[in-house]
Amino acid sequence: MTTIAERARELTDTREPFVHATVVRAQDPTSARPGDDAVIRSDGSIEGFVGGVCAESSVRAAALDTLRDGVALLLRVLPEGATPFPDTPGARVVVNPCHSGGAIEVFLRPMLPAPAVRVVGDTPISAAVATVAAFLDFDVVAADDSSTGCTAVVVAGLGRGEPEAIRAALDAGVGFIALVASGKRGVALLDELGLTDEERARVHTPAGLEIGARTPAEIALAIMGEVVRAIRVDGLAPATGTSAARPQQAVDPVCGMTVLVGAETPHARVDGQDFWFCCAGCLASYTAA
């Protein structure tokens, strides 16, 4: 049987983002115990145990928020009518109307893969870019590997293999392609490729921030500075995500809980309108009314 730790390593190895949820406090009566843990994937699916169905629904919804902003969160799930916790930075309190009566605290840690950069070329500049990228904790992809899943591609062949590398990166959906070339040569090369306006906007040449760089190391610094700015400021994302689209959310009309809509979510269609519920009990209560 695969443990949660083993599953987390598998997801990390395949560069799939997920959230590691760990119960850090449990107040009876509750089915969860400190140390219980689970992984929540970007499609909202959960593997492991962090409490009953109602608590689990709150954990899953909060976990998806941490995947979006990358910030860890302490989730406090309290029964209705409980004395509220004081506001604490980094903590969120949710009231669980269908809770058995206990309370739990779950630490949600988003596990996001490092951005990957593919470096194309066998030149002093390409070597320097790989060194700087590794120092910045990027995953450096070898030139002969695919651009799929890369956040950026740096083409530093200085005249060798450039059209093929640019075309492959564009076809893979890479949002940031840095071409190391003079302004004049870069424009001529892009003209020869016959790119669309959208494709051309993804190719940056001359590559790098304007810092007066001259040496390979300085040029690498300028290029990676531009890549970091694109990620942190412009929201540059990987070419393809192993993460699925964020699942739909709905509010249980009985207890008011936010639930993730999926194949197993209790559901009813009443007077032509769809409703989803946190559990079978809320579904039965609503349809009996």
- In this predicted model, what pLDDT tens digit does every residue of 43-98 receive, in sequence order? 889 999 998 877 888 899 899 989 888 889 999 888 776 655 555 666 787 777 66
**CA distance readout (Å), 178 to 45, 71, 98, 126, 226:** 36, 29, 53, 11, 9
How many domains does one find in the chain? 3
Distance between CA atoms of 84 and 159, rounded to whole angstroms? 65
- Residue 242, domain member (yes or no): no
93 and 152 in a single domain? The answer is: no
Whichever domain contains 131, its CATH number is 3.40.50.720
Instruction: Write the single-letter amino acid at 33.
Output: R
Domain assignment present for 131: yes
Q: Which of 84, 111, 138 is the last residue of a domain?
A: 111
Say if 209 falls within a structural domain.
yes
Residue 241 within a domain: no
Could you tell me the residue range of the domain that residue 258 belongs to? Answer: 249-288
Would you say residue 239 lies in a domain?
Answer: no
The per-residue pLDDT for range 163-198, each reduced to its tens digit, is 999 999 999 999 999 999 999 999 999 999 999 999
What is the 8-class DSSP label of residue 51?
S
In this structure, the answer to whether residues 187 and 265 fall within a common structural domain is no
